[in-house]
Chains A and B, each alone.
Chain A
Amino acid sequence: MSEPVAEKNDRMELSGWQWTYRLLRVTVMLVAAYWLSRTGDAFFYQGF
């Protein structure tokens, strides 16, 4: 069964390397944020 054209085009927009790089970047940012939020002081937005 052939894939729907839209789904095929979506996966063609980013290469495997691009997916890997961007997911890695996301992971680094999330891990850094999680680690600092746990080991640093609790940081609440002193907002309005």
Chain B
Amino acid sequence: MPMVDLASPVFWLVTLIAVAVMTPVTHAELRKWLWAGVNLVFIATMLRLRVLEVAALLLAAHITLRVLGCDTWRRPVALAGLACALCLFVINKLPLQSQALGLGVVNPLLAAVGFSYVFLRLIDVGRVVYEGGRPPPDLASTVNYLVPFHMLAAGPIQSYEDFIDQPAVPKPVTAVEALEAVERIALGLFKKFVVAYIIGKLFLTGFNVSGPYMLFEVQVHYLWFYLDFSGYSDIAVGIGKLMGVRTPENFDKPYLARNMIDFWDRWHISLSLWVRRNLFIPMQLAMARRTRGKRALLIATVAFTVSFLLCGLWHGISWPYFTWGAMHALGLVVTNTYRHGLTKRLGTKDVKAYKEKPVYRLLGQFITFQWVAFSLLVIAYPWEGLNP
């Protein structure tokens, strides 16, 4: 569980300081280092002197990325870096087991920085630098990309290319833009602390019910989860706008998705894009090379399945999360296969006409909503209560 608390005055004090300190600065290098300082100060408010250990880990990551950008030692360093990151990820996800093995000493550091997200950013920047897509980041940029304070709680997961391509000194924020940013923050806080909170208090029982109410709670639980999660993203996007730091959008009315592929274009968009860049497309390309472009549907099926089983495990190393991943993989495979079959049968023009019929749109939206809602039930249900 992340340690970042949006209800804490400390978070908002750091936000105010960040905006006040960074806004007037037009020197690119100074701005970068000020932001890195703000990010480390924020972590220090949670960890105190242990922020030095986090700084040491960030330095190690920076050196690793530098080596990845060179020709010699790239491959062994890449493998070693990936192995280390994976170990830290597993320690973060299994704190009790880590404690038992005497590895629990790093758990507070990993929780403070929301290591699940840092892990994904590490993979992204490592891949881009290894492939030569962009040069490795300097030290300040390593800090700013891996642990941006306003994205620690729950993302979004910015791509390294998007991060490094943004202007070093953004255009000054106009009064209207500042108002829009504050509105976005206020909306996020309202969604999370008012609407989601009230819905939770009034309707959610933690699934400690049975019968028809359970079906109702499944629907409301999805809604509650969306409001809570998207609220975090609204706050992050608003703060990013105030600071002049690019922060990607993460949600686009996912409750209106008409199939699972559409759903992942609307829900946790930054994660979906990460999976596409770092898992789905590399797997698809590797398999396509072996089959010389044949069996596209089978390749997509395998790529969806592996990607989303791993995505499930990223959320949590347990059977409920694995099952959640499997349900989403199944939904994606079914959607992709159906789409493929429909296009083959009707042709592209007639498929477009078919998709525009309201009855099919509504049916698709209903089925998708239910599939997602029940997949969330698998994670949220108190399975331990079933054991005698």
A45 partner, pick from B186, B187, B232, beta carbons under 8 A: B232
Chain A contacts of B103 at CB under 8 A? none
Interface size on B, residues (CB 8 A): 30
Residues of B191-205 contacting chain A, CB below 8 A: 192-194, 197-198, 201
> Which residues of B have CB within 8 Å of A2?
none
Per-position contact with B for A9-38: 1 when CB-CB < 8 Å, else 0?
Answer: 011011000010011011001101110111
Residues of A within 8 A of B7 (CB): 37-38, 42-43
B116 on the A face (CB < 8 A): yes
Stretch at the interface among B38-46, B129-137, B172-180: B172-180
Determine whether the beta carbon of B193 is less than 8 Å from that of A47. no
Q: Which B residues lie within 8 Å of A36 (CB)?
A: 193-194, 197-198
Q: Closest CB of chain A to B201's CB: distance in Å?
A: 7
- Interface mask (B1-40 → A, CB under 8 Å = 1, otherwise 0): 1100111000000000000000000000000000000000
Complex partner residue of B193 from A10, A37, A46, CB under 8 angstroms: A37
Question: Taking the complex as formed, is B316 at the interface, i.e. its CB lies under 8 A from any CB of chain A?
Answer: yes
B residues at A contact (CB < 8 Å) = 1-2, 5-7, 116, 153-154, 174-176, 179, 182-183, 186-187, 189-190, 192-194, 197-198, 201, 228-229, 232, 314-316
The 7 closest A-B pairs by CB, nearest first: A33-B189, A29-B190, A33-B193, A29-B186, A37-B7, A26-B186, A37-B193
